A and B are shown apart, each in its own frame.
Chain A
Amino acid sequence: MAGDFELTRNITIGQYLPTGSVIHRMDPRLKLLAAALWILSISLCHTYLGNVAGLCVCLALFALARIPLSYGLSGLKPAIPFILILAILQLLFYGNGYGPSGQVYFHWGILRITSASVRVVVVSTLRFVEIIFAVSVLTLSTSITELTHGVEGLLRPLGRMKVPVHAFALIVTIAVRFVPTFAMEMEKMMKAQASRGAEFGTGSWWNIARRTRDVFPLIIPLFNTALVRAEELALAMEARGYVPGQARTAYRRYRAGGRDIVMFLAGMALSAALVFAPFPF
């Protein structure tokens, strides 16, 4: 019960944990690119062994970034229901449509569990965990400013095709930046409403109508403050001379050094290995 309202505790996205490790000091553009490639290769890898290897690499990344693993695990916690529901649905129905091949373990009505559906379940669960870990390491080791510069730097070539790269980077930055803020606001709102008799998450899970009504006292004020905040942010930016679409210089310039390139190549090699290595099963 003690941690009832500590929402911020479970949200690792958007948090930055400075430890000064090599991962932290890597050039944000290359880091972002390497992370994207790595996540792509995780999504493409469909062998048991490959995903176990991928998981090991993700765990090694935590060590390399000197970020306690407990951080990654607490980021995993809110995703567990989704992973479970996905796994159950896949286990029950995947065998019918997409995986008729392989050995049939169980068959009843429209439910069919085959070796292929078991594989899909295990692999997609592992993938989910790996991706959450990878994203956690990325966001925990990269400050928001670096992340924006990374996104902007990577998308710059698109700017020549009149894509509003800077605006896009800004949108992403603001969205990520406000995740912890809204978590805190939500926490405060939950406490305030609980103080006047509200209860959250006590209704039975099947009583969806009641549970939905229960969150009105949170959602409505939260929307309200979010809109107010958005307006204030826009004003504050304009007051400090922000003009949309205008060319801007940066206080910090990033230049990829030799170490960054070596690390990026290592990341590429790992990603390639995950996709192309002949894992036996």
Chain B
Amino acid sequence: MGESNRGDILTVSNLHHTYLQGTPLAQPALFGVNLVIPAGSCVAIIGHTGSGKSTLIQHFNGLLRPQMGEVVVNGARLSNPQVDIRAIRQQVGLVFQNPEDQIFERLVGDDIAYGPLKQGIPLSEVVQRAKWAMGVVGLDFDEMKNRSTFAMSGGEKRKVALAGVLVLRPQILVLDEPTAGLDPRSRRDLLRRIRDLNRSEGLTVVFVSHNMEEVAYLADTVYVLAAGHIAFHGTPRELFGALDERPDLQVGAPPGVEILRALHSRGYHVDTTRFTVPEVAEEVAAAASGQRGPAAAAEPPSGDLSAPPTAWEGPAHRREPDGRHPHAHAEDRGDAHGR
């Protein structure tokens, strides 16, 4: 795509990885992966189970070191054994799948403060950070800090775990299937907060997902990983537009795109390259009014994620690859989740 190297916060070049190297069970997982993450962007990594997504993201904060190839974070080469790995892990906050499993303290506040306290950051500063992190994920500091971690709902636990990483004040947030296993409401709430983090706080976000709706909602760049190498790289628009020519990617389209395609195949003149919920709504409305079609065809999509349509309200056109987002995002509709 020809990006310049100036604004890249993380680059991966020709990365190879083999699990259990040097044993009879050696299993290659990555073959020459190249990937660039510009500062402030929101990058989705998608691919089948076993395609190497988790292996790849574990290289981002040095949990796995490059066996071959290179990972550069903010100019630091991770193949260098002398690199300050604690500093890297502070800059790249990695949130694992089902991160609520990693909560171990009795009180919410203690668990969130664990990382910075471990780094020797003074308590007053830690409290400030914890306040910020809890605010960002939507947990009220004064109310939640002394709550028991084991008496929380799944969605709340996940927020606590997320805050426990954000409290390190990373520059890049890496999330492995952040919404897996959450109920639709918590999922929507979490996605909106991740998006706010990216758009308003300027945090670079990388996330792994199987859900194309999430990709359409959040990402400005998509990498498709297949059998340990990058099979596709581009914007969501490019990806969803290329699905017909690239059945090998085995990527499904978001429901909105499916709807536009269905309309298209029935003779409606809709633009099938549009994919966000507001865009799709616009197309559907145009088709319903312009065409003399049956009214049923104009009903808005009702996938589980888009149940209250307002929750998915987003900018109609957001294609700023550098993440400078003109959209002010004033739709803070109070906090649906706080009590």
Contacts and interface: CB of A to CB of B under 8 A. Distances in A.
Nearest to B166: A196
Contact of A197 (B19, B63, B67, B168): B168
Chain A contact residues: helix, strand, loop or mixed: helix
Interface string B76-103: 0000010000100110011110010111
A1 B119 CA distance: 21
A195 B67 contact: no
A192 interface: yes
Interface stretch (A3-11, A41-49, A249-257, A268-276): A3-11
A2 B89 CA distance: 16
Give the contact-size bracket for chain A: 20 to 34
Contacts of B89: 194-197
Interface of B: 19-25, 58, 61, 63-65, 67, 81, 86, 89-90, 93-96, 99, 101-104, 114-116, 118-119, 164-165, 168
Interface string A128-154: 000000000000000000000000000
Contact of A189 (B81, B101, B164): B101
Interface string A209-224: 0000000110011001
Contacts of A196: 89, 93, 102, 114-115, 164-165, 168
A192 B67 contact: no
Interface in A197-252: 197-199, 216-217, 220-221, 224-225
A71 B165 contact: no
Contacts of B23: 9, 70-71, 74
Nearest to A67: B24
Nearest to B150: A224
B67 A5 contact: no
A188 interface: yes
A18 B22 CA distance: 18
Interface string A171-194: 000000000000000001101111
Given A1-B81, A6-B20, A17-B24, A197 B114 contact: yes
The 6 closest A-B pairs by CB, nearest first: A197-B115, A220-B104, A196-B115, A195-B94, A192-B102, A197-B118
Interface string A50-83: 0000000000000000001011001000000000
A44 B266 CA distance: 84
Contacts of B64: 2, 5
B101 A197 contact: no
A234 to B, nearest CB: 20
Contact of A191 (B63, B93, B119, B165): B63
A227 to B, nearest CB: 12
Contact of A9 (B20, B116, B118): B20
Nearest to A8: B20
A224 B24 contact: no
Interface string A1-35: 11111101100000001000000000000000000
Given A188-B96, A192-B99, 10 more contacts: A2-B67, A8-B20, A9-B23, A68-B24, A70-B24, A195-B89, A197-B86, A197-B90, A197-B116, A217-B102
Contacts of A216: 104
B17 to A, nearest CB: 10
Contacts of B58: 191
A92 to B, nearest CB: 37
A187 to B, nearest CB: 10
A249 to B, nearest CB: 33
A185 to B, nearest CB: 9
12 contacts: A1-B65, A70-B24, A71-B23, A74-B23, A189-B102, A192-B99, A192-B102, A196-B164, A197-B90, A197-B118, A221-B102, A224-B101
Contacts of A1: 65, 81
Contacts of A221: 101-104
A192 B100 CA distance: 10
